Amino acid sequence: MTDVLTRLTTLLRESGLLTSITTDDGFVHGPATLSATGTEVMVNVDPDLEEDSDPDLPALVAQVGRVLSMPTTAWTALLDEIATEVEDAVGDVPVENDTDLRDDLAARSVVVVPDAVLIVFDAPSQFPDAVVRVQLDGDLGLEDLEIAALHPEDPDDGTDTVTFDSVDELLDHLSENRD
């Protein structure tokens, strides 16, 4: 395990993608800049050693590079797709804050694992007590989306994930929690 993490750390250092690289709990992480937004995010690279004793480390590093260098047009299209999914789920339910979600989404962190890329977004106006988590497919297209409530009163836990099987369930949940 340590050998794999050492090799992954070396590859990431050589790539120049991350700065201040550290290794912790089976993954490698460090800050990096998203070129589409010019903002810094924390990047976690998890070789998923429990599933694969010999992960393709160059492919993981290449995927980190693909995410960080995503063109602005592709990033804007991703934000639009996320916002559209959430808007479709909410439907005609009145919202308290009319800030466009596309303008409110700010990437907080990126997680790269062998089979997926996960991005956590803050949306402080639309979802001040939650984060928006998205999973991207191999082509960096939207595969899954969830809104996870934050619980600052429980610093050990941090988040509580609520998953919905359908858009109707999400809409029902949002309607119930507006009271």
pLDDT tens across the length of the chain (179 residues): 568 899 999 999 999 999 899 998 888 999 999 999 999 999 999 988 776 567 889 999 999 999 999 999 999 999 999 999 888 876 666 556 667 888 999 999 999 998 889 999 998 888 888 899 999 988 898 999 988 887 655 544 444 455 555 555 555 555 454 44
Dist. CA 131–CA 52, nearest whole Å: 29
The tally of domains found in the chain comes to 2
Do residue 18 and residue 55 come from a single domain? Answer: yes
- Residues 60 and 48: their CA atoms lie apart, in Å, by 11
Q: Do 96 and 42 belong to one domain?
A: no
Determine the Cα–Cα distance for residues 164 and 170; give it in Å rounded to an integer.
Answer: 6
Phi, psi of 119 (to 5 degrees): -125, 130
Of 112, 108, 109, residue with least CA distance to 8: 112
Q: What is the pLDDT of residue 93?
A: 60
Query: Left if phi > 0, otherwise alpha if psi is -120 to 50, otherwise beta: which for 22?
Result: beta
- 38 and 91 part of one domain: no
User: Which residue range is the domain that position 148 belongs to?
Assistant: 72-176
Query: Is there a single domain that holds both residue 90 and residue 164?
Result: yes
CA proximity to 121, closest of 93, 152, 138, 142? 142
Shared domain for 86 and 172, answered yes or no, is yes
Domain stops at, among 46, 68, 90? 68
What's the confidence (pLDDT) of residue 152? 56
C-alpha–C-alpha distance, residues 29 and 24, integer Å: 8
Choose the final residue of a domain: 41, 68, 95. 68
Q: Does 55 share its domain with 80?
A: no
User: Domain ends where: 68, 102, 122?
Assistant: 68
Structure tokens of 77? Answer: 């299209």
Residue 64 shares a structural domain with residue 29: yes
Let me know whether 98 and 159 are in one domain: yes
pLDDT of residue 71: 95
* 29 burial level (CB within 10 Å; 0-12, 13-18, 19+): buried
108 lies in the same domain as 171: yes
Domain check: are 62 and 89 in the same one? no
Question: Distance between CA atoms of 134 and 78, rounded to whole angstroms?
Answer: 10
Do 168 and 88 share a domain, yes or no?
A: yes
Same domain (yes/no): 110, 155: yes
State the residue for tokens 């050693």. Answer: 49
- Residue 141 and residue 66 in contact, taking contact as beta carbons nearer than 8 Å: no
